[in-house]
Structure 1
Amino acid sequence: MRNIFNIKTITGHLALFASVLLFSSSVQADNTWPTTELDPEEAGFSSSGIETLDAAMAKIVSDQDVAGMTWILVKDGKVATFEAEGLARTDDQKPMALDSLFRIYSMTKPVTGVALMILHEEGLWKFDDPISKYVPEFQNLQVMRSYDEEGNIELIPVERQPTMRELLNHSAGFGYGLGGRDPVNNAFRENAVLASNDLDQLINKVAAIPLLSQPGEQWYYSVAVDIQGYIVQQLSGLKFGDFLAQRIFEPLGMDDTTFYVRAEDKARFAEVHNWDSERNRLVQRPQRSDRPGFDDPNRLESGGGGLVSSTHDYARFLQMLVNEGELDGKRILTPESVRIMRTNSLRDELNINGGPDRVGREGIGFGVDFAVISNPKAAGSRQGPGTYYWSGAAGTWFWIDPTEDMFWIGMIQAQGARRPGAANMRNIAIDSIYDSLR
């Protein structure tokens, strides 16, 4: 196992003290960044403000809102704080560490978007191409027009083929099965689409399920990014995971990011917890039995939610985006591709049917696999215009504020019930960070 951190315990929490490497798109860093000797003042924050931020995150752990957490704040390529607190696993009292591994679930989506944009730069697809050009199984899609209480549905043909642009911003019409009690989302669950053995099987299952709406009529959080992963596989001639490894992870030095936890890394893997009201404490959730576990190398390479990663690795991925596509002299995307990804592409008149992470709220749109704050005042956000962000089902979250060349990552593993009165850690972090800016 690669040991990139020097860690020592200080009064109940882990702190990292190594040397920080300062860089931007024009300054080179070695691929161990972020190893940090913290200097909030040099990063553009008040030291007292960062102490307040760290204390607030530590309190979230000590209050048992989460079992453990890591967090990192970077501005202008300089690390203001990088901390670990609490436990990765309560069953064996494994401490959370700076190199702990996490199920990042939907934080996989921006990685998939980058992969697809790499192939766009190579001229292998265009935004207005029909998806069926690359997924022939979708040539005869139908749309659910209506349904009754018994689940009987009226189907109509698609008025036109959904496009790649619509696939990238969740307006193609696909369902997902994560929510909704309509026949389309029920079919996703009944056919175990997200538990498919491979991407070929997933595509065949999706092709047999009608769309929720005509293409381009509404935004609906969907299976679209798993379809994107399949298209990457088809266009590149590589397994999806191999493409990510060769074109993104290896160039960026993201050695911890994979679709499964290697045997030698199992000790670093944080487990998911939820609040048990009967025992009045957090408990470790059992592994799911309806699909391969995260230690199975044959599990589905899901572009929508399959990756395991570390805070270190995801920080390198985000810094590449802050640098408009480049890190350590390795260019992954052109600046124009990054700008496309972080620009709202939803039409004002588009019907937004719910959605996670505040999508649909005034002032918030969607780019390529990111939500985008186009109007901070309307959105009630302190973050700068153009801030883009996303999160994962186990609570991991990140955002990038391009007006400040700044990003934040919070890594937790929490699903299900929360402690009554649990704090809104995301808002607390944002307020502490922006209060600390000098």
Structure 2
Amino acid sequence: MTEAGGLAFATSPQAVGFDPQRLSRLDDYMSGMVEAGQVAGTSTLLMRHGQVVAFQTHGKARIGDAEPLGRDAIFRIYSMTKPVTGVALMILFEQGHWTLDDPITRFLPELSDLKVFTGMDDQGEMVVEDAVHPPTMRELMSHTAGFGYGLFDFHPVERAYRAAGVLRADSLDNLVQRVARMPLMFQPGREWFYSVATDLQGLIVERISGQSFGAFLSERIFEPLGMVDTGFHTRPDNQHRLTAIYRGDGTGGLKEATTAFDMPINDFTQPPRMEGGGGGLVSTATDYARFCQMILNRGELSGTRILAAASVDLMATNMIPDAVLATANPLRLLPFNPAFGFGLDFAVMLNPAAIGAVEGRGTLSWGGGGGTWFWIDPENDLVFVGLIQRLADPVSDAFRKEARALVYAALTHPEK
């Protein structure tokens, strides 16, 4: 077996239950999207039974480059940072620093007097009421605490977050101060909304550990797992491997993005103003695959244990209340329902057959606003990491759906 980024390659796709001809359709799709000018480059890594089944790159790190995209290319992974933040917090959970039903005000006293949005008055001002209880750690990690984000434009609280520049804070301490001035979108535990909650988790890690968030991640996760290229900025010796980021130009082509979510694109060559737990990391396909394989192995990789198996199982348990799953709400980023929920910083597939999904029961997943995505399928013992360089839109969303369909269409021996 050869090695890539410390990962062992399977001797053949057939050896781990894949039809190579069918699997080549995934490669054809990715190369075709590059040739069609829909993305600058793609990097996809599929693992099963702890071995790399397929690892392919197409295109360039930057349109116009002479060299092809390398396997060691570094991507802005945006919200794929969130599960890493969750693992950091679970390390402290195992040390007895907090429990799921602790109020977050234990660590974030700035949020002790939160109000809850109930509507708008005749003067266009928000009407609020008292929160029935402070959000809990469980609610914070499952996006059911009621916080906004400032990325969207379809709710008064969201617009207030954006106007206040919550995500433009220059530190995590400053961020929580800005959040404290905003009402919650709903009473804690009563709904699901994608939010700034994971950045608040990063601040809790800092306050419990006494370290900067980046230092904690490096010491407790990245270095033990051999994630040598993952962090909040690139090292001087690998800045040339950082890929550019693009968006659709409105005419079927691409243009380089200078802003994302109404904020300047961080070039990641210098330390950021804020080490955000919600979307601040860069990584490579092999680094992030090592993280995913650790989760698939229930907390361990190559003899190094990051979490206890029980802690990973807890992260993979749905935390959205049944009453919320039983109803639809256009505020949710994804159509959560009794078959598809959200655990602690991961989406979790509860009953794939019920909603026509092809992955295994218990699959964990998420993605990033720059077009990156992953899933971890414990039932079929596989991991997939997909990295592209296109800000979230219908085209980048199509990559995720197509990759899933093509991978499982090539799987000849499902389950372990």
Establish whether TM, by shorter chain, passes 0.5. yes
Deviation readout 1:185-227 (Å, 9 max, x if unpaired): 1121112111111100001100111111111111111111001
**Preserved CA contact (<8 Å) 1:198 1:300:** yes
Which residue is 2:350 aligned to?
374
Summarize the Cα distance change of 1:417–1:237 in structure 2 as closer, same or farther, 3 Å threshold: closer
Greater displacement, 390-399 / 91-100:
91-100
Contact 1:65 1:423 in 2 (8 A): no
1:283-339 deviations in Å (ceiling 9; x for gaps): 222356747542221431010000000001000000101111001111000000111
The question of 1:65 aligning with 2:27 is answered: no
How many aligned residue pairs are there? 408
Taking a change above 3 Å as real, the CA distance of residues 38 and 282 of structure 1, as seen in their structure-2 partners, is farther
8 Å CA contact 1:293–1:299 kept in 2: the answer is: no
The answer to whether structure 1 residue 111 and structure 2 residue 84 are counterparts is yes
- Residue 366 of structure 2: which of 390, 395, 401 is its match? 390
Q: How does 1:102-141 map to 2 (within 5 A)?
A: 102-141=75-114
The partner residue of 1:330 within 297, 301, 304 is: 304
Task: Judge conservation of contact 1:175–1:221 (CA < 8 Å) in 2.
Answer: yes
Please name the residue that 1:261 is paired with. Answer: 234
Structure 1 pair 109/338, CA: closer, same or farther in 2 (3 Å)? same
Distance 1:79-1:336 versus aligned 2 partners, 3 A rule: same
1:198 corresponds to 2:171: yes
Partners of 1:423 and 1:142 lie apart in 2 by 35
The one-letter code matched in structure 2 to 1:251 is P
Taking a change above 3 Å as real, the CA distance of residues 283 and 326 of structure 1, as seen in their structure-2 partners, is: same
Aligned partners of 1:339 and 1:293: how far apart in 2? Answer: 36
User: What amino acid maps onto 2:253 in structure 1?
Assistant: R
* Residues 214 and 232, structure 2, Cα contact 8 Å, conserved in 1: yes
* 2:279 aligned partner: 305
The structural deviation recorded for 1:416 is 6.1
- The unaligned stretches of length 5 or more in structure 2 are none
Q: Deviations over 1:103-161 (max 9, x none)?
A: 10000000000000000000000111111011111111111111147530112111111
**Contact residue 387 and residue 400 of structure 1 kept, 8 A:** yes
Q: Secondary structure at the match of 2:195?
A: coil
Q: Which residue of 1 aligns with 2:247?
A: 274
More moved, 354-363 vs 162-171: 354-363
2:379 to 394, 403, 412: 403
Q: Percent identity?
A: 43
Q: Which moved more, 1:181-190 or 1:229-238?
A: 181-190
Mapped contact 2:8–2:50 kept (Cα < 8 A): no
> How is 1:2-13 mapped onto 2 (pairs within 5 angstroms)?
none
Provide, for residues 375-400 of structure 1, a one-character-per-residue CA deviation record: whole Å limited to 9, x for no partner.
11222201111111000001100011
Letter in 2 for 1:347: P
Task: Quote the offset at 1:180 in angstroms.
Answer: 3.5
How far, CA to CA, are the matches of 1:84 and 1:50 in structure 2?
14
1:170 aligns with 2:153: no
Amino acid at match of 2:7: P
| 436 and 357 in structure 1: CA distance in 2 versus 1, 3 angstrom threshold | farther
- Which residue number corresponds to residue 252 of structure 1? 225
Q: CA deviation at 1:74?
A: 0.3
- Per-residue deviation, 1:424: 2.4
CA, structure 1 residues 360+151, in 2 after alignment: closer, same or farther (shift >3 Å)? farther
CA contact (8 A) 2:8 2:51 kept: no
Structure 2: distance between partners of 1:291 and 1:104: 13
Q: Per the alignment, do residues 291 and 70 of structure 1 end up closer, same or farther by CA in structure 2, a change over 3 Å counting? A: closer
Report the 3-state secondary structure (helix = DSSP H, G, I; strand = E; otherwise coil) of the residue aligned with 1:175.
coil
Distance 1:35 1:202, change over 3 A: same
**Cα distance change, pair 81–196 in 1 and its aligned pair in 2 (3 A):** same
The aligned residue for residue 223 of structure 1 is 196
- Shifted more, 355-364 versus 115-124: the winner is 355-364
User: Are residues 80 and 138 of structure 1, via their aligned partners in 2, closer, same or farther at CA, if it must alter by over 3 Å?
Assistant: same
Matched residue, 2:6: 33
Range with greater deviation from structure 2 (173-182 or 102-111): 173-182
Q: Partners in 2 of 1:166 and 1:62 — Cα distance?
A: 44
CA distance in 2, matches of 1:292, 1:397: 20
Aligned equivalents of 1:269 and 1:198: distance in 2?
A: 24
Q: CA deviation at 1:175?
A: 0.7
8 A Cα contact 2:348 2:364, kept in partner: yes
8 Å CA contact 1:166, 1:215 repeated in 2: yes
Q: Secondary structure at the match of 1:305?
A: coil
Amino acid across the alignment from 2:372? T
Mean alpha-carbon deviation: is it higher for 96-105 or for 37-46?
37-46
Distance 1:283 1:298, change over 3 A: closer
* TM-score normalised according to structure 2 size: 0.92
Q: Which runs of 5+ in 1 are unaligned?
A: 1-17, 22-31
Instruction: State the match for 1:159 in structure 2.
Output: 132
